[in-house]
């Protein structure tokens, strides 16, 4: 019997995670996640994000693809590796002096909610009205994603299970967010990561990345843009321009899919796309 994992081809999760805008949504999630001082401190002091920017981005994408499109066994195995890594990371919160673990539920929940909200927002905005999600799909997606939080060790009962729950979560957590020095440094790496001279000088990678990452920043909620000291980006006209930019980017990504070396979709995602096409035929 075929094992389509925790979601399957009829899920909203597969529809959203096979969309070409899921990559830019991931960048938006990283920028949003940086606003949590302790989560950002853990990344800055206990990881090699700066030294391994591209490797880290690739591994994160592979993890999301495995837990989304892989079999249940593959998803559980990938999550077990992540949980083991988190369990080894311990330290002291510089703001409170309290001991923390990278597997603290509050930190894991923040990372989860930031990714779910970012994918839902960016992919939804990047689609034209004729391609829009159906009524109730946003709630379904958030509910489906509860299992993703459970895989890394978050209790089901504390995970938002609807769009309204997700909005309430961000309203509750916002007073505890801040733009620290570490957050600004991380954002600068997301917006303009270091590239090998051969790549930077001989390909259009730099301007393309700046365009994509700039859209990721502009698509953040207005309150998050204000926190990054970008009040000029917190206006309705800019939101409309960002939506138009995301739609144009989606078209460009669809046209170039599979043609850009180094950014081919994973085998898990290719299989998912094929299964969904068979269902639609």
Domain presence at residue 262: no
Domain presence at residue 135: yes
Report long-range pairs for 257-266 (Cβ below 8 Å, ≥24 apart).
Answer: 257/20, 266/61, 266/62, 266/65, 266/69
Q: What is the pTM of this model?
A: 0.92
Q: 205 is in which domain, residue-wise?
A: 12-257
Within 10 angstroms of residue 210's Cβ, the number of other Cβ atoms is 12
Domain presence at residue 270: no
Domain presence at residue 6: no
DSSP 64: H
Domain presence at residue 20: yes
Alpha-carbon distance 104 to 135, whole Å?
34
Alpha-carbon distance 18 to 276, whole Å?
10
Q: pLDDT tens for residues 183-230?
A: 999 898 888 877 766 655 556 677 888 889 999 999 999 999 999 986
Alpha-carbon distance 209 to 175, whole Å?
32
Alpha-carbon distance 230 to 225, whole Å?
5
DSSP 92: E
- State how far Cα 222 lies from the chain centre: 18
Question: What tens-digit pLDDT sequence spans the chain (281 residues)?
Answer: 678 899 999 999 999 999 999 999 999 999 999 999 999 999 888 777 666 667 777 888 899 999 999 999 999 999 999 999 999 999 999 889 999 999 999 999 999 999 999 999 999 999 988 788 888 999 999 999 999 999 999 999 999 999 999 999 999 999 999 999 999 998 988 888 777 666 555 566 778 888 899 999 999 999 999 999 865 554 555 788 999 999 999 999 888 875 555 567 788 888 888 889 888 76
Domain presence at residue 1: no
Domain presence at residue 167: yes
Q: How far apart are the first and last CA of the chain?
A: 21
Alpha helices in 161-235, H assignment, sequence order: 163-173, 181-191, 197-202, 205-218, 222-227
Domain presence at residue 269: no
Q: Is 18 helix (H, G, I), strand (E, B) or coil?
A: coil
Domain count within the chain: 1
């Amino acid at each position: 019997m075929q094992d389509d994992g925790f979601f399957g081809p009829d899920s909203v999760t597969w529809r959203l995670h096979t969309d070409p805008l899921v990559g830019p949504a991931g960048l938006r999630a990283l920028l949003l996640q940086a606003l949590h001082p302790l989560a950002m401190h853990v990344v800055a002091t206990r990881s090699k994000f700066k030294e391994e920017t591209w490797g880290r981005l690739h591994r994160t994408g592979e993890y999301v693809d495995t837990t989304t499109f892989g079999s249940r066994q593959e998803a559980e195995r990938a999550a077990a590796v992540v949980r083991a890594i988190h369990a080894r990371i311990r330290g002291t919160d510089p703001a409170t002096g309290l001991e923390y673990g990278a597997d603290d539920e509050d930190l894991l929940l923040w990372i989860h909610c930031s990714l779910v909200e970012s994918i839902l927002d960016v992919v939804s905005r990047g689609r034209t009205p004729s391609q829009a999600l159906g009524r109730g799909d946003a709630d379904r997606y958030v509910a489906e994603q509860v299992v993703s939080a459970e895989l890394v060790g978050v209790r089901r009962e504390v995970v938002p299970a609807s769009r309204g729950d997700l909005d309430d979560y961000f309203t509750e957590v916002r007073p505890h967010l801040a733009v620290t020095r570490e957050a600004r440094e991380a954002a600068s790496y997301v917006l303009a990561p270091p590239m090998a001279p051969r790549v930077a000088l001989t390909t259009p990678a730099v301007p393309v990345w700046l365009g994509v990452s700039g859209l990721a920043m502009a698509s953040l909620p207005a309150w998050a843009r204000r926190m990054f000291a970008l009040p000029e980006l917190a206006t309705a006209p800019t939101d409309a321009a960002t939506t138009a930019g995301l739609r144009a980017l989606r078209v460009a990504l669809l046209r170039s899919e599979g043609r850009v070396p180094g950014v081919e979709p994973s085998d898990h995602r290719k299989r998912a796309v094929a299964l969904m096409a068979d269902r639609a035929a």
